[in-house]
Structures are given as structure tokens and as C-alpha cells.
Amino acid sequence: MFYKVKVRDHIRVPPYMFNLSKKQAVLDNIKSSYENYISKDFGFAVAVVDAGNVKEGVIVPGDGAGYYEAEFELLTYKPEVNELVHGKIRDITDFGAFMDIGGVEGMVHISQSMDDFVSFSKEKVLQGKKTGRSIKVGDRCRARIIAVSYKDLHNPKIGLTMRQEGLGKVEWLDEGAVHVIPPKEASAKKKEKD
């Protein structure tokens, strides 16, 4: 899920940025510190939305930089178990597929890629034995998050499945779709026949 998160922090502004306005210098340093930041509490910081209130700063002796207390908003993405995600297959290995779900990568284990016996080929394709369905790099898919781990904050793990009903490669979803004619169109077609 995407969230807007309000944060209050002391932001360091180096002396070479003193020629900028206070708000611009603080905003530039917030962006360099917080964009692409990962936290167990709020997930992945995608972007700095706005720097609100910036208080007067202090210069710390021996450092020379200004420190400003600032309030700002972050746009964050915090993956949640059972959340539906759409993405594109970025890579395939012998143990599964890596899917880009919008700036964050999730992994679909080979056993979770489809409800079939799945084999891996050297052409980086996962192939179902009974159904003949395949997944390759570049395919657009729908998956469900089944696990999230922040054990290593530099490389958090997101586990995905595509074995459930309504999940998998987009083309598979179109194959099983039932096309329902809305009631107004159905009655109009009936009148045309009469």
C-alpha cells in the first residue's frame, strides 16, 4: 500500500549550500537522505512530497554545517501480506522469477509460479508441463504478496505467489475471463432481434 507519512527530523545542510534559500537547501538534503530509504516502520520511501515547516537552524562547532529541524511528507510504499500487485518479470532463474512491482522487486518461487509442474529452461523460461503455459522475461503478471522480510534493510525480501485464482500472467487471466453483457446492452440486442 502507498502511504503519505509525516516525518520530523534534524537535517544537515553543508556550508556550500548556504547560498540557497533555507527551504530549498533543506528540501535538497531531505531528498538525498530519504528518497530510496528503507525502513521497517514505513517501508520504501518513494519520494519527498513536501517540506513544510523548517525552523531556525544552528551551526555545530567543528562541523560548520547548519542543522535545521524540519517537518516533511514522504510518499512511501509498504508491502502488506495478501496485497494484490501488478508487475513485470525482470529476471528468471532456476528457482523462480523476479518481478518488478513498481520500484520494488518481489520473488515468485518456481513452486508458486503456476498450479502445474514447472520446469526451467536455459532460455530463462518457466514452463508448465500439463498446461503448456510459460512465463518469460518481460511478461506482465498479477501476484499476491505472501511474505515480507526486513531482516536485511539493504535488501528486503518480498515473496509472491501466482498460484491462486485470478493471478498469473495477464494473458492467462484474459483466457479465463467470462464476458458479461451489461443488462442495458442485452435488452437493446434483444429488441434488435425482434
Residue 12 pLDDT: 93
Total domains, the chain: 2
Domain that holds residue 16: 2-77
164 in the same domain as 106? yes
70 in the same domain as 101? no
Q: What is the pTM of this model?
A: 0.73
Residue 145 pLDDT: 94
- Element housing 29 (H / E): helix 22-34
69 in the same domain as 109? no
166 in the same domain as 133? yes
Residue 103 pLDDT: 74
Residue 47 pLDDT: 87
Residue 46 pLDDT: 87
**In contact, 51 and 8? CB cutoff 8 Å:** no
49 in the same domain as 29? yes
Residue 191, in any domain of the structure: no
| C-alpha closest to that of 174 among 129, 139, 150, 122 | 139
**In contact, 71 and 49? CB cutoff 8 Å:** no
Residue 56, in any domain of the structure: yes
107 in the same domain as 147? yes
Q: Are strands 125-128 and 58-59 parallel, antiparallel or unpaired?
A: unpaired
What residues contact 82, with CB distance under 8 A and at least 6 apart? 144, 145, 146
Spans of the chain, pLDDT less than 70: 175-194
97 in the same domain as 73? no
11 in the same domain as 37? yes
